[in-house]
Chain A
């Protein structure tokens, strides 16, 4: 076996090196495919992340929605009385209200205001993100905010600054000032950078219709529930539904899938990535097949002088792997360099796992595409290749 690797490696590397212009061209094609696949994967990750980031990082196990809201956070309305009921259910360790809304961050130095998600959470309860810098929210009514890293980067605001939010309540634009007490990591919600405020403050500053302006009964969208034992998810979920009434529950995973457009977006991008890989397989397969057809006589000579089929096949495999690895490496490097030039507004995230899966798939397209040509090479008859057959 060592002998097979040694000779086939020698033949493969010599051929690649002595025809490096031609092989580099194929590597560059693979590099472009790699670039495309990595960007599609990164775009998928970036868009998906922008949609689910806050939800996926929640310290909760279940989300409680209003019944028949189709597990859509924006469609769900839950009063505060439900929170007390949820907290009383056996197996619930903690629960917190979550209110979501969009608003505009007024930035005096910026050309355009920044659209943000204002998320009302209960200080000290499930749903409040942990700060990386500064303090947690103090009370339910405090004029405080925690901003996520995206908001900090895109607004230029920092810990201790005061931010101004503009919302429409009834028919009037209202401005509210909040002091930034903490900065948390990336916690985008619905592709918007986030500002976390105490729940009652949120209810006061959120956009409202005319009818809601004078209402004194705060209404959240959902309740975030942390369980005493996450293994009891099914049981506690049933208990919640039966004891609280007029609600439905979903796990975090299901809640993410139910985010508006999330599944469609991800499946679209996955399909694009899959097709790009498929085209890659065809391109590589085509190249190596043409190459094998051009060197039938050469392989015939090799076989006639005693080169075994495993050596011929292994040489092709090594060649394909070398070309693919070089192409993927160039493509990966290009993707990395390009990614440095993108502004933070472009939702592209080179996540380790996603990129690794994409790279593994890309490394497979070479051998996969070259399989037909390898089979062809092995079946070349030296007698026919050398024109000796009658």
Chain B
């Protein structure tokens, strides 16, 4: 029996609005294994951001289970969810990713600090990781002194430095040009595979699915299709390009 780093079971998220009940996520069950990089795609309003928020322990599902390393995020109180985000989840966002008054290396070390695990070895690891991401010369630069791509790479390092079980990326290439976007996603995928983390990337840009192992397609809150295998994913990407 396969043990998944992340597993959701019949996750539902509903919102009340003036026009009635909105089903943002409708009975989604998925699994992501350690060392697997998955893309979550779908049009605006398909529920992928809501799904990502729940996976990040930022939002409680209305019903269902979200199991991270066997622990159900859905049943946790606020304090425990904060601890899960700190210890078991790595996160990169679209923008405003970094703490502006901390240098690149300080931003990465912050995750170790929050987990009370910052020591000489950890600090060295943060520097090495940044160097691997091509930022060896930018260790002491503030976010404002770096380009968008460099900031995203710092965010990737921060998302991985504390050895989380799950790494989430919300539109990590949204503010980058195509060349930089490919570089960032390729690096991200490489590290997720190498470090055996479960990775999920939400993206609008199907071209970025080139480096993922599976693509989960959502529509109207439902998980409508799963693309597996290189050929299937390539066809999806080409279909996306034609639409563009």
Q: Which residues of A contact B (CB under 8 A)?
A: 3, 6-7, 10-11, 14-15, 17-19, 297-298, 300-309, 382-383, 386-390
Contacts and interface: CB of A to CB of B under 8 A. Distances in A.
B176 interface: no
Contacts of B99: 11, 298, 301-302
Contact of A383 (B59, B142, B158): B59
Interface residues of B, number: 38
Given A383-B53, A388-B170, 12 more contacts: A11-B99, A14-B106, A15-B101, A298-B96, A305-B158, A306-B83, A306-B84, A306-B87, A383-B58, A388-B52, A390-B15, A390-B50
A306 B96 contact: no
Given A14-B106, A306-B86, A383-B59, A301 B98 contact: yes
A3 B116 contact: yes
Contacts of B79: 308
Interface of B: 15, 22, 24, 49-50, 52-53, 56, 58-59, 79, 82-87, 89, 91, 93-94, 96-102, 106, 110-111, 113-116, 142, 158, 170
Contacts of B110: 305
A301 B56 CA distance: 12
Contacts of B89: 306
A304 B91 contact: yes
Q: Which 5 A-B pairs have the closest CB atoms?
A: A306-B86, A18-B101, A306-B85, A297-B96, A15-B101
A307 B114 contact: yes
A298 B100 contact: yes
B97 A18 contact: no
Nearest to B116: A3
A304 B93 contact: yes
Contacts of A17: 101
Given A3-B116, A18-B101, A383-B58, A305 B85 contact: yes
Contacts of A390: 15, 22, 24, 49-50
A7 B114 contact: yes
Q: Is the interface of B mostly helix, strand, loop or mixed?
A: mixed
Contact of B85 (A14, A298, A304): A304
Contacts of B115: 306
Contacts of A382: 58
- Interface class of chain A by DSSP: helix
A14 B101 contact: yes
Contacts of B114: 7, 305-307
A21 B158 CA distance: 28
A305 B116 contact: no
A271 B58 CA distance: 49
Instruction: Specify which of A15, A305, A388 lies most central, judged by the most chain B CB atoms within 10 Å of its CB.
Output: A305
A302 to B, nearest CB: 7
A135 B40 CA distance: 97
Given A301-B98, A388-B52, A390-B49, A10 B113 contact: yes
A289 to B, nearest CB: 19
A301 B93 contact: yes
Contact of A14 (B84, B102, B116): B102
Contacts of B58: 304, 382-383, 388
Nearest to A300: B96
B101 A19 contact: yes
Contact of A306 (B82, B94, B102): B82
Nearest to A13: B101
A387 B50 CA distance: 11
Contact of B142 (A3, A18, A304, A387): A18
A308 B49 contact: no
A298 to B, nearest CB: 6
Contact of A301 (B87, B97, B116): B97
A297 to B, nearest CB: 4
Contacts of B83: 306
Contacts of A302: 99
Contacts of B170: 386, 388
Nearest to B168: A304
A15 to B, nearest CB: 4
A308 B96 contact: no
A19 B144 CA distance: 13
Nearest to B106: A14
Given A14-B101, A388-B49, A305 B91 contact: yes
B85 A301 contact: no
A127 B48 CA distance: 89
A308 B87 CA distance: 12
A307 B84 CA distance: 11
Contacts of A7: 113-114
A308 B85 CA distance: 10
